[in-house]
Chain A
Amino acid sequence: GAVVSQHPSWVICKSGTSVKIECRSLDFQATTMFWYRQFPKQSLMLMATSNEGSKATYEQGVEKDKFLINHASLTLSTLTVTSAHPEDSSFYICSARQTGGGKAFFGQGTRLTVV
């Protein structure tokens, strides 16, 4: 299947700093990418949907100024957690859907720990 690479796999940062997570579709173009967060033993919660070249659409309750999403190219989307706090510690997962629709493929996830 298609490959979606997420980087970094894990990151530890100090409270108040910002962290950027990258999501790349390696062998296909992705017009649409999704960002999720997942807490232990829970399902994936959709945070936002990003379309290449346009502003992301955030789910209700997700602060767009805190979770900055940039989808500048058909193969790269980034999620920046700004002014991170311990409650932002979670597992963040991206997904990319092929241009024109079709299956969505997921990155391996990023474990963020804010201390």
Chain B
Amino acid sequence: LAKTTQPISMDSYEGQEVNITCSHNNIATNDYITWYQQFPSQGPRFIIQGYKTKVTNEVASLFIPADRKSSTLSLPRVSLSDTAVYYCLVGDLAGTASKLTFGTGTRLQVTL
């Protein structure tokens, strides 16, 4: 299982773009990269998923370099409601035996 490393915490002001980078040096060929957001006392919420290059949806972008040893979640113009913990997970989506293991996550604090 590919281990992930993220910054423990980040601070941002409302309206700024936030980039959270995750390192996964031993990512396997079949592994996808998935990001989740978690608010206190709630289950994680899916944000975005990708395999390579760039993926964009209505809430975020995910940048993955060619070597796939890292990935960056980009949140455009954050608001106070984006204050949460963000987790990067790496795993083989097709393998039913593939476990979903969480790292420490990044605690993002957005202020005015």
What are the residues of chain A within 8 A of B101 when measuring CB–CB?
46
Q: What sequence of 0s and 1s flags, for each residue 86-104 of chain B, a beta carbon within 8 Å of any chain A beta carbon?
A: 0100001111110111111
Q: Which of B43, B46, B99 contacts A46 (CB 8 A)?
A: B99
Q: What sequence of 0s and 1s flags, for each residue 87-109 of chain A, a beta carbon within 8 Å of any chain B beta carbon?
A: 00001011101001111111111
Q: Which of B87, B96, B99 contacts A31 (CB 8 A)?
A: B96
- A44 vs B97: C-alpha distance when bound (angstroms): 19
Chain B residue with Cβ nearest A9: B41
**Contacts between chains A and B (CB distance < 8 A), count:** 60
- Tell me if B76 is interfacial: C-beta within 8 Å of chain A: no
Chain A residue with Cβ nearest B43: A106
Please report which residues of chain B, range 61-110, place their CB below 8 angstroms from some CB of chain A when the two chains form the complex. Answer: 87, 92-97, 99-105
Quote the shortest CB–CB distance from A2 to chain B (angstroms): 9
Question: Does A44 contact B102, Cβ atoms closer than 8 Å?
Answer: yes
Query: Quick one: given A43-B105, A106-B43, are A95 and B49 in contact (CB under 8 Å)?
Result: no
Question: Does A43 contact B87, Cβ atoms closer than 8 Å?
Answer: yes
What are the residues of chain A within 8 A of B93 when measuring CB–CB?
101-103
- Tell me if B54 is interfacial: C-beta within 8 Å of chain A: no
- A101 vs B98: C-alpha distance when bound (angstroms): 9
Q: Which bracket fits the contact residues of B?
A: 20 to 34
Query: Quick one: given A103-B34, A111-B41, are A34 and B46 in contact (CB under 8 Å)?
Result: no
Question: Does A103 contact B99, Cβ atoms closer than 8 Å?
Answer: no
Q: Which of B41, B97, B102 contacts A43 (CB 8 A)?
A: B102
- A91 vs B36: C-alpha distance when bound (angstroms): 17
Query: Quick one: given A100-B94, A102-B93, are A44 and B44 in contact (CB under 8 Å)?
Result: yes
Question: Does B46 contact A6, Cβ atoms closer than 8 Å?
Answer: no
Question: Does B100 contact A34, Cβ atoms closer than 8 Å?
Answer: yes
17 inter-chain pairs at a CB distance below 8 angstroms, sorted by A residue, are A36-B102, A43-B87, A43-B105, A44-B44, A44-B87, A46-B100, A46-B102, A93-B43, A101-B96, A103-B49, A104-B46, A104-B100, A105-B46, A107-B43, A108-B42, A109-B42, A111-B41
